[in-house]
Structure 1
Amino acid sequence: MSLLSKFATVGGATLVSRIFGFAREMLMASALGVGPVADAFNLAFRFPNLFRRLFAEGAFNSAFIPLFARSLEEEGEEGARRFASEVFSTLFTVLSAVTVLAMVFMPFLVKTIIAPGLAVCVDDPSAGGAAISCAERYDITIAFSRIMFPYLACMSMLAMVSGILNAFRRFFAAAAAPTLLNFILIGVIGYALKTGADKQTIGFLMSWGVLAAGIAQLAMVVVAMRLAGFGVALKRPRWTKALKRLLVLAGPAALIGGITQINLFVGQAIASFKPGAVSILQYADRPYQLPLGMVGVAIGVVLLPELARALKAGHLREAQHTQNRSLEFALFLTVPAAVALFLIPEPIIRVIYERGQFEASATVAVAAVLGLYALGLPAFVMIKVFSPGFFAREDTRTPMFATLISAGANIVLSLGLFWLFSERGIALATTIAGWLNAGLLFLGLYRRGLWEVDRALLKRTLLVLLSAAVMGAALVFGLDQLSPWLSSGAGLHRELPALAGLVAAGMVVYFAMAFLTGAADRELVLKVARRGRRRQAAPVSKEAP
């Protein structure tokens, strides 16, 4: 299977998950809108979801896969099974203890880490008796957090099992597992809307749905692991040299790989000081997570094993080629996505969310945040490309410092800009921090001679920027021509086809420019197309007499 095919396998599964994630967010926006219950759910979910993104989407694998692969090669499958069982037993014990402690001390966690703004919240006397008080917001955030916190343990163990599957080049099950979360929450919200449940009841049902989804996802990858002929056993935890090495690598790797989610978590904690701001950030996060997840996660999961194998075999030229083509692939898809999300965020948000409890004023606020997030999209994907260059060499110290610097910058900028621009200031701070982190990682690789930029990458990057600029001009022109169909109140029957036509036209312009100018590797595309035709024709030829 080629590198591009592996990206497509993981990216395709992730794309399906993100599409259903859209459906989930659309239902949630319609049911809860921008308000205290939506804020409470998003605040409570962000904490365990942060660890899902840190571990399940490649960061844990960054430390686990090289050590597991080495154990598999040097000690055989029995040695690899012993190492995996040691990790699983320790992980299970630690996570069980952390979960119990978190459930007990959740009021403290909410007040100091998850939502510090609720601790200083003051009720608005003009809001009337129907409004949810600050005390109620605080209480339901604690309740939601307690219900959902065990999801963290499920996702952490899922990450380890996913690492085993990825080491055996079984990428699909781990990439497809997050879809279960969306399926279950879509069902829960649909049931709640059908029965006419109030907003707080919907929030509680969704919280239990998250927990059920965590258990289902873990079960899915465990079954896939067993089908792959591998298994782990729960034993008494033991402190071993291999386990110590894993922990030394895993901590920084989780920090580095999850910088995007850490920045978002910090942003939401600061946003808790303004009612509604948390929900605005969350709703804006979903559209830009689609390209980030499809491209970034695929690269993060696939690139590390490929680099590790090339370096272990001493194929340095192959490693350099893999890095350059991965960055090329990332820019080819994320630059036009960033341009589109920056130029036309309002009609996108209107079509996705504006119905039910989600009002036109919320569309404007969410669109402004999405446009600022979009500017950082290429940087966040580039982080996924640059990080494996360090991880494959078992170097987590250098990128950890880069991540700490950018995280510190994000906190400082978020605190300063929030009081000037509200939630838009947090989005801008997140974007600036993302570019700072990507820049520091690239400089670290380049100065140590671990990344040689080839001429093909430079040429295609410039051509991608040119193609995206032409596409952007076409989008601005199309937005002006279709404004009566895309304005608030036009109706979904007009907005949806108009937006679909605008996006389709932008894609046609971009890909046409990319192929005409050479921004896309035409030979590679034709090679993949020919390979696909040969695969389709193969069964027919075998059945011929």
Structure 2
Amino acid sequence: MSLLSKFATVGGATLVSRIFGFGREMMMASALGVGPVADAFNLAFRFPNLFRRLFAEGAFNAAFIPLFARSLEEEGDAGARRFASEVFSTLLATLVTLTIVALIFMPFLVSTIIAPGLSACIDDPAAGGDMLSCAARYDLTVTLSRIMFPYLACMSMVAMVSGILNSFRRFFAAAAAPTLLNFILIGVLAWCLYAGVDKATTGFLMSWGVVVSGFAQLAMVVIAMRMAGFSIAFGRPRWTKGLKRLLVLAGPAALIGGITQINLFVGQAVASFKPGAVSILQYADRPYQLPLGMVGVAIGVVLLPELARALKAGHLREAQHTQNRSLEFALFLTLPAAVALFIIPEPIIRVIYERGAFEPSATAAVAAVLGIFALGLPAFVMIKVFSPGYFAREDTRTPMYVTLFSAGINIVLSIVLFGILAERGIAMATTIAGWLNAGLLFAGLYRKGLWEVDRQLVRRSALTLLCSLVMGAALVGAMLELDDWLRPGSPLATQILAIGILVASAMAIYFGLALATGAADRRLLFAVVKRRRPTPPATGPDEGSA
């Protein structure tokens, strides 16, 4: 299977999950709107979800996979099973302890880390607004956080098992597992809307749905692992050389791989000082996460095992080719997505959310944040491309410093810009920090001679940018022509039709130009469509696949 085919497999599964995630957010917006219950749920869910992203897309993909692959290669199945069992036992004991401590001290966590703005709101009740008092909003956030915190433990175990599956090149189950969360929450929301239950009850039921989905996802990947012929055993946690090496690599890797979620978490903590701002950021994050998840997660999951395998085998030319083609693939899909989301955020938000409890006044606020987020989309996907260049060489210290520096810049800018632009300032800080992180990561690889930019990457990247800008200009013209259809108050079917025309036209223009100019590799694209292995490129005997 070619590298692009693997991206397509993982990206396709992630795309399905993100589409159902859209459905979930649409129903949630209709049921909860932009208000205190929505804020409480999003704040409570963000904390365990942050750790899920750190483990699933950072620490274990960056640290566990290379070490597991080494055990598999040097010691065979028995050695790999022993290493995996050591990690499993220690991780489970740690997570159980962490969960118990967090449940006890959750009020402290909410007031200091998750939502410090709620504590300030209690001191100044006039800032609370809306239907729930400041104290009630705080209590609700604490309760929902306690309900959902075990989801963190489940997702951490899912991440470990997914790392094993990815090492065996079994990508689909791990990529498809998050869809269960969306299925369950959609079911919960459908019943709540049908029964007409109040917002607070809806928030409670959704929180329990999150926990149930965590156990369901864990069961799914464990079954897939057993079907792959591998199993792990639970034993007494022991401090071993392999576990020590894993922790040394995993800590910095978690920070690096989860920089997007760290920035969003910081943003939401700052946004908790303004009622409704947390929900605005969350609703804007969903459309932005669709291309980021489909492309970024696919690259993060596939690239590291492929790059680590090539480097361990001494195939340096193949490793360089893999890095360049991965960046080429990332830019090919994210640049046009960023341009489109920047130009037409308001019609998209209106069609997705504006119904039920989601009022028209919230549409403009969410659309403004989405437009700013869109400018950072290519940067956050490029981070997924650049980070494996360090991880595959078991170097996590250098990118950790880069990530900490950019996260510090994000915190400072979030605080400063929030006072000027409210939630738009947080989005701007996140975008600036993302580009800074991506630029510094690439500069480090290039300066150390670990990334050689080939002419094909430069040429196709320039053509991709040109095609994206032409598509953007065409979108602006099309919006002017369809202005009557896109205006607030137009029938929903008319608005959906107009957006469908815009999207279809933009895709036709972009892909047509990309194929005509050579911005897209026709051979690889057609190979993915036909699901066959492409002919290796002329640059080297090993570089056509990874």
- Normalised by the shorter chain, which TM-score bucket? over 0.9
Alignment of 1:137-156 (within 5 A): 137-156=137-156
Query: In 2, are the aligned partners of 1:164 and 1:225 still within 8 Å (CA)?
Result: yes
**Post-superposition offset of 1:489:** 1.1
Q: Provide the rounded CA distance (Å) in 1 between the counterparts of 2:532 and 2:451.
A: 32
**Which position in structure 1 is the counterpart of 2:280?**
280
Query: In 2, are the aligned partners of 1:58 and 1:297 still within 8 Å (CA)?
Result: no
| RMSD between superposed Cα atoms in Å | 1.3
Deviations 1:35-66 (A, max 9, x none): 00000000000000001111123531210001
Structure 2 residue 317 is the aligned partner of structure 1 residue 317: yes
Q: Provide the rounded CA distance (Å) in 2 between the counterparts of 1:59 and 1:14.
A: 19
Query: In 2, are the aligned partners of 1:173 and 1:220 still within 8 Å (CA)?
Result: yes
Query: In 2, are the aligned partners of 1:300 and 1:385 still within 8 Å (CA)?
Result: yes
Q: Provide the rounded CA distance (Å) in 2 between the counterparts of 1:258 and 1:168.
A: 24
Task: Describe the SS at the equivalent of 2:125.
Answer: coil
Q: Provide the rounded CA distance (Å) in 1 between the counterparts of 2:528 and 2:200.
A: 50
Shift in CA distance, 443/126, structure 1 to aligned 2, threshold 3 Å: closer
**Which position in structure 2 is the counterpart of 1:112?**
112
Q: Provide the rounded CA distance (Å) in 2 between the counterparts of 1:348 and 1:512.
A: 24
Structure 2 residue 87 is the aligned partner of structure 1 residue 91: no
**Which position in structure 2 is the counterpart of 1:456?**
456
**Which position in structure 1 is the counterpart of 2:388?**
388
**Which position in structure 2 is the counterpart of 1:77?**
77
Where structure 1 has 5 or more consecutive residues not aligned to the other structure, the ranges are: 535-545
Query: In 1, are the aligned partners of 2:58 and 2:255 still within 8 Å (CA)?
Result: no
Task: Describe the SS at the equivalent of 1:519.
Answer: coil
Number of positions where the alignment pairs a residue of Structure 1 with one of Structure 2:
532
Q: Provide the rounded CA distance (Å) in 2 between the counterparts of 1:132 and 1:442.
A: 47
**Which position in structure 2 is the counterpart of 1:123?**
125
Query: In 1, are the aligned partners of 2:59 and 2:251 still within 8 Å (CA)?
Result: no
Q: Provide the rounded CA distance (Å) in 2 between the counterparts of 1:405 and 1:252.
A: 13
Q: Provide the rounded CA distance (Å) in 1 between the counterparts of 2:345 and 2:532.
A: 35
Q: Provide the rounded CA distance (Å) in 1 between the counterparts of 2:508 and 2:533.
A: 23
**Post-superposition offset of 1:487:** 1.2
**Post-superposition offset of 1:484:** 1.1
Query: In 1, are the aligned partners of 2:125 and 2:133 still within 8 Å (CA)?
Result: yes
**Which position in structure 2 is the counterpart of 1:250?**
250
**Which position in structure 1 is the counterpart of 2:159?**
159
Deviations 1:375-394 (A, max 9, x none): 00000000000000000000
Q: Provide the rounded CA distance (Å) in 1 between the counterparts of 2:353 and 2:318.
A: 45
**Post-superposition offset of 1:525:** 2.3
**Which position in structure 1 is the counterpart of 2:444?**
444
Structure 2 residue 28 is the aligned partner of structure 1 residue 54: no
Q: Provide the rounded CA distance (Å) in 2 between the counterparts of 1:390 and 1:363.
A: 41
Query: In 2, are the aligned partners of 1:34 and 1:280 still within 8 Å (CA)?
Result: yes
Shift in CA distance, 419/2, structure 1 to aligned 2, threshold 3 Å: same
**Which position in structure 2 is the counterpart of 1:208?**
208
**Which position in structure 1 is the counterpart of 2:240?**
240
Q: Provide the rounded CA distance (Å) in 1 between the counterparts of 2:128 and 2:523.
A: 66
AA at the equivalent of 2:226: R
**Post-superposition offset of 1:124:** 3.3
**Which position in structure 1 is the counterpart of 2:540?**
none
Q: Provide the rounded CA distance (Å) in 2 between the counterparts of 1:93 and 1:484.
A: 60
Deviations 1:469-507 (A, max 9, x none): 110001101111111111111121111011011111011
Q: Provide the rounded CA distance (Å) in 1 between the counterparts of 2:526 and 2:181.
A: 36
AA at the equivalent of 1:124: A
Query: In 2, are the aligned partners of 1:63 and 1:391 still within 8 Å (CA)?
Result: yes
Deviations 1:185-212 (A, max 9, x none): 0000111111110000000000000000
Which moves more between the two structures, 48-57 or 147-156?
48-57
Shift in CA distance, 297/533, structure 1 to aligned 2, threshold 3 Å: closer
Q: Provide the rounded CA distance (Å) in 2 between the counterparts of 1:328 and 1:258.
A: 22
Task: Describe the SS at the equivalent of 1:237.
Answer: coil
Which moves more between the two structures, 489-498 or 105-114?
489-498
**Post-superposition offset of 1:125:** 9.2
**Which position in structure 2 is the counterpart of 1:220?**
220
**Which position in structure 2 is the counterpart of 1:539?**
none
Deviations 1:228-251 (A, max 9, x none): 111111100000000000000001
Q: Provide the rounded CA distance (Å) in 2 between the counterparts of 1:109 and 1:527.
A: 50
Q: Provide the rounded CA distance (Å) in 2 between the counterparts of 1:218 and 1:294.
A: 21
Structure 2 residue 533 is the aligned partner of structure 1 residue 519: no
AA at the equivalent of 1:256: I
AA at the equivalent of 2:513: M
Task: Describe the SS at the equivalent of 1:72.
Answer: helix
AA at the equivalent of 2:155: M
Q: Provide the rounded CA distance (Å) in 1 between the counterparts of 2:291 and 2:322.
A: 21
Where structure 2 has 5 or more consecutive residues not aligned to the other structure, the ranges are: 535-546
**Post-superposition offset of 1:532:** 4.8
Q: Provide the rounded CA distance (Å) in 2 between the counterparts of 1:7 and 1:412.
A: 35
**Post-superposition offset of 1:531:** 4.9
Q: Provide the rounded CA distance (Å) in 2 between the counterparts of 1:531 and 1:123.
A: 60
Alignment of 1:349-428 (within 5 A): 349-428=349-428
Query: In 1, are the aligned partners of 2:343 and 2:476 still within 8 Å (CA)?
Result: yes
Task: Describe the SS at the equivalent of 1:124.
Answer: helix
Query: In 2, are the aligned partners of 1:349 and 1:363 still within 8 Å (CA)?
Result: yes
**Which position in structure 2 is the counterpart of 1:16?**
16
- The TM-score normalised by the length of structure 1 is 0.96
**Which position in structure 1 is the counterpart of 2:544?**
none
**Post-superposition offset of 1:292:** 0.2
**Post-superposition offset of 1:437:** 0.2
Shift in CA distance, 530/13, structure 1 to aligned 2, threshold 3 Å: closer
Shift in CA distance, 184/527, structure 1 to aligned 2, threshold 3 Å: closer
Q: Provide the rounded CA distance (Å) in 1 between the counterparts of 2:495 and 2:422.
A: 29
**Which position in structure 2 is the counterpart of 1:308?**
308
